[in-house]
């Protein structure tokens, strides 16, 4: 069977086009590693324990999937779920959960955020970013106030910031 030049050109074009479409569909995303998530959780526990707070710390990846979870000695059982929900909320919303809580309070149109499954719109969730890209989030629960949870979370992120570049 003889392949004509025209047939060869059509087949080549089809292969080239399919290859281009496939490569256009690739998605490259940065994500927090297990090692960094574990270190971040440890630093979060330490930041709060140095202030006398027994907390739980959850670190999630960019999709809100748990990567590391630590519960300090003496932390209440409820702090585990709170920490994980705050981390999920910060990763999903790509914002501080305290800012999201303020938005809910000030904007009736945003009140539905509290009904999203897995969300906890209270201070204590901090997104982890490289530039403008969110690669994960940390959530802390158990300090006597969400603002204190958030301070510990931000202190932990600050301590690993050099590893995120």
Domains of the chain as residue ranges with CATH: 34-164 (3.30.450.150)
pLDDT tens, per residue, the chain with 165 residues: 455 656 555 555 556 655 555 556 888 889 999 999 999 999 999 999 999 999 999 999 999 999 999 999 999 999 999 999 999 999 999 999 999 999 999 999 999 999 999 999 999 999 999 999 999 999 999 999 999 999 999 999 999 999 887
Q: What do you get for the CA distance between the two ends of the chain, in Å?
A: 58
Half-sphere exposure in the Cβ direction for 114 (13 Å, CA): 13
Asked if 157 and 126 touch (Cβ cutoff 8 Å), the reply is: yes
CA angle 123, 153, 131 (to 5 degrees): 100
Q: pTM of the full predicted structure?
A: 0.84
- Tokens 């705050």 belong to which residue? 86
């Amino acid at each position: 069977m003889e392949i004509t030049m025209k047939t060869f050109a059509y087949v080549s074009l089809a292969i080239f086009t399919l290859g281009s479409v496939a490569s256009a569909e690739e998605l490259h995303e940065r994500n927090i590693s297990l090692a960094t998530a574990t270190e971040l959780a440890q630093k979060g526990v330490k930041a709060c324990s140095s202030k006398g707070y027994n907390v739980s710390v959850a670190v999630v990846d960019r999709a809100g999937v748990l990567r590391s979870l630590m519960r300090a000695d003496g932390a209440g059982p409820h702090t585990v779920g709170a920490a994980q929900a705050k981390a999920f909320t910060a990763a999903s919303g790509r914002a501080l959960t305290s800012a999201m809580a303020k938005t809910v309070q000030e904007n009736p149109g945003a009140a539905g955020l509290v009904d999203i499954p897995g969300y906890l719109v209270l201070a204590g969730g901090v997104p982890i970013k490289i530039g403008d890209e969110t690669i994960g989030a940390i959530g802390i629960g158990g300090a006597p106030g969400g603002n204190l949870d958030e301070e510990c979370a931000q202190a932990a992120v600050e301590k690993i910031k050099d590893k995120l570049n």
